[in-house]
């Protein structure tokens, strides 16, 4: 049995980074409550200070320096105040558990997280705060022997959303049970996240603002990868979501390494009594790329079409296809189905001949002169694009050679998103950036590190 003490510091137990809590429907993992990210950090730090053989709680002294080190945070003048305020908010936070008691009836039980949060006053250097768990949490945190979650809190150091943290804990528990997928009803997810009908009342908003963002967050910052998110529909309404997940190796918070982003595959749509839809999860960089390209053709195709193009072809091919099609329209060429024509251009090596419609709707072949003119214009445009690409490539390569410390960040970016599948792990970064398919992510990675790097290049 651990030695009982009135006040426990992190130095009393060593550098523990493991948190343990009761899981399952009657545990903390799937209870109903909300905490912001800072409140979670305070709570997780307290959890790391509990020993597996503790039989009672004590008062825990949290040092600002400990939390900063545990979650690799930047220290600033408000660090103490931020942590103190979060701890004080936790005193008023509760979790709700729906469970069956010994009389066989269902109950809704409300349990507070903390009983107190004490901070020093007077002319002293404020570097710590003392907090105490509520006694009602004992069955959820002490003497855990079965159905509990154990994880390294450093895996959540870079997570930026409370919903991402909740989803991580739920999925991590299921993965610890050797499951690779788990189904939750939309109603259950809203209940766990404490998101009522007034918050994101439409499922589409709930999906984009909560679920998809959480999946992206986990894929880019944690050791869990959401391979796909499957929606189940009943009478056209989404009633449940199935998360398909796997583990990925990412550095923990105290390691100064770049974080690779998980690749998302495109599985076939499954069929069942309820309609199932696969929702692929893009990382933030890919989403921005899709939005950027979609602006060029939003009058003709939806965002999802652009997304599919980028899964099928390189960014350069998609942009050339769009540029070529828009040029034809500007020159007065009659294209009945611009969306279909764009799809054809994406899948075809340019230059090419095409058919135009007469005023009566009869399809006729372009004349040799018209084809030659079109091909000449295309050749000129391709020459311009090639010169532009070469200039950007040399500029980016020069910047990379001048900043060798950027290599890890550039490598991580190029391994992420839609184009990560083209990155060859068996060759060096410099060999990979010679592949024209990788020019787009290479340029993006350099531009993120130096936003004005391509200023003036036309």
Average pLDDT over residues 304-328: 81
Average pLDDT over residues 31-54: 93
10 Å Cβ neighbour count for 160? 11
C-alpha 408: how far from its chain's center? 20
Supply the pLDDT for residue 112: 96
List the domains of the chain with CATH numbers.
1-152 (1.10.10.10), 158-281 (1.10.10.10), 286-449 (no CATH)
Q: Tell me which residue of 216, 321, 283 sits closest to 420, measured CA to CA.
A: 283
What is the spatial distance between Cα 176 and Cα 171, in angstroms, rounded to a whole number?
9
pLDDT: which is higher, 192 or 272: 192
Strand pairing category for 59-63 and 7-9: parallel
10 Å Cβ neighbour count for 135? 11
Convert the pLDDT of each residue in 400-447 to its tens digit: 877 877 888 888 888 876 677 788 888 888 888 888 888 888 888 888
Average pLDDT over residues 446-458: 77
Per-residue DSSP letter, 211: I
Weakest-pLDDT range from 1-15, 147-161, 373-387:
373-387
Predicted TM-score (pTM) of this structure? 0.60
Phi, psi angles (nearest 5°) of residue 61: -95, 115
Alpha-carbon distances of 207 from 58, 226, 264, rounded to whole Å: 41, 14, 17
Convert the pLDDT of each residue in 63-112 to its tens digit: 888 898 888 887 777 788 888 999 999 999 999 998 888 888 888 999 99
pLDDT: which is higher, 222 or 369: 222
Give whichever of 14-18, 107-111, 319-323, 357-361 has the largest mean pLDDT.
107-111
- Read off the tokens for 356: 């135009």
Going by pLDDT thresholds of 50, 70 and 90, the confidence category of residue 35 is very high
C-alpha 232: how far from its chain's center? 22
What is the spatial distance between Cα 206 and Cα 192, in angstroms, rounded to a whole number?
13
Per-residue DSSP letter, 212: I
Of the chain, the percentage scoring pLDDT greater than 90 comes to: 32
Supply the pLDDT for residue 354: 39
Kindly report the length of the chain: 458
Residues paired with residue 129 on neighbouring β-strands, in sequence order:
62, 119
List Cβ neighbours of 53 (8 Å cut-off, separation of 6 or more): 1, 2, 143
Alpha-carbon radius of gyration of the chain: 28
């Amino acid at each position: 049995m651990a030695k009982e003490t009135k006040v426990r510091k992190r130095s009393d137990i060593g550098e523990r980074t493991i948190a343990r809590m009761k899981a399952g429907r009657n545990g903390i993992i799937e209870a109903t409550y909300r905490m912001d990210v800072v409140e979670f950090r305070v709570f997780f730090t307290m959890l790391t200070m509990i020993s597996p053989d503790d039989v009672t709680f004590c008062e825990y002294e949290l040092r600002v320096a400990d939390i900063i080190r545990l979650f690799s945070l930047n220290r600033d003048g408000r660090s103490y105040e931020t942590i103190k305020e979060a701890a004080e908010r936790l005193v008023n936070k509760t979790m709700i558990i729906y469970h069956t008691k010994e009389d066989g009836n269902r109950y809704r039980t409300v349990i507070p997280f903390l009983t107190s949060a004490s901070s020093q006053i007077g002319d002293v250097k404020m570097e710590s705060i003392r907090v105490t768990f509520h006694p009602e949490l004992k069955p959820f945190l002490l003497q855990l022997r079965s159905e509990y979650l154990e994880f390294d809190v450093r895996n959540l150091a870079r997570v930026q959303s409370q919903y991402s943290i909740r989803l991580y804990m739920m999925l991590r528990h299921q993965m610890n049970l050797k499951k690779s997928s788990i189904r939750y009803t939309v109603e259950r997810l809203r209940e766990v996240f404490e998101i009522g009908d007034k918050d994101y009342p439409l499922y589409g908003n709930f999906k984009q603002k909560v679920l998809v963002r959480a999946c992206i967050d986990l894929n880019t910052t944690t050791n869990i990868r959401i391979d796909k998110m499957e929606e189940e529909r009943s009478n056209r309404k989404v009633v449940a979501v199935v998360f398909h997940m796997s583990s990925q190796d990412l550095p923990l918070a105290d390691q100064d390494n770049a974080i690779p982003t998980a690749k998302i595959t495109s599985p076939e749509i499954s069929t069942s009594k309820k309609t199932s839809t696969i929702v692929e999860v893009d990382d933030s960089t890919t989403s921005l790329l899709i939005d950027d390209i979609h602006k060029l053709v939003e009058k003709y195709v939806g965002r999802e079409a652009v997304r599919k193009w980028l899964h099928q072809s390189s960014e350069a091919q998609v942009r050339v296809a769009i540029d070529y099609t828009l040029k034809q329209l500007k020159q007065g060429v009659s294209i009945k189905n611009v969306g279909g024509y764009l799809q054809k251009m994406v899948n075809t090596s340019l230059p090419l001949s095409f058919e135009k419609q007469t005023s009566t709707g009869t399809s006729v072949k372009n004349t040799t002169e018209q084809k030659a003119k079109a091909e000449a214009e295309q050749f000129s445009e391709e020459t311009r694009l090639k010169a532009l690409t070469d200039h950007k490539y040399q500029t980016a390569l020069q910047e990379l050679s001048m900043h060798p410390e950027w290599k890890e960040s550039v490598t991580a970016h190029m391994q992420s998103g839609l184009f990560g599948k083209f990155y060859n792990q068996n060759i060096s970064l410099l060999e990979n950036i010679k592949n024209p398919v990788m020019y787009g992510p290479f340029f993006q990675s350099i531009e993120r590190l130096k936003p004005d790097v391509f200023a003036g290049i036309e």
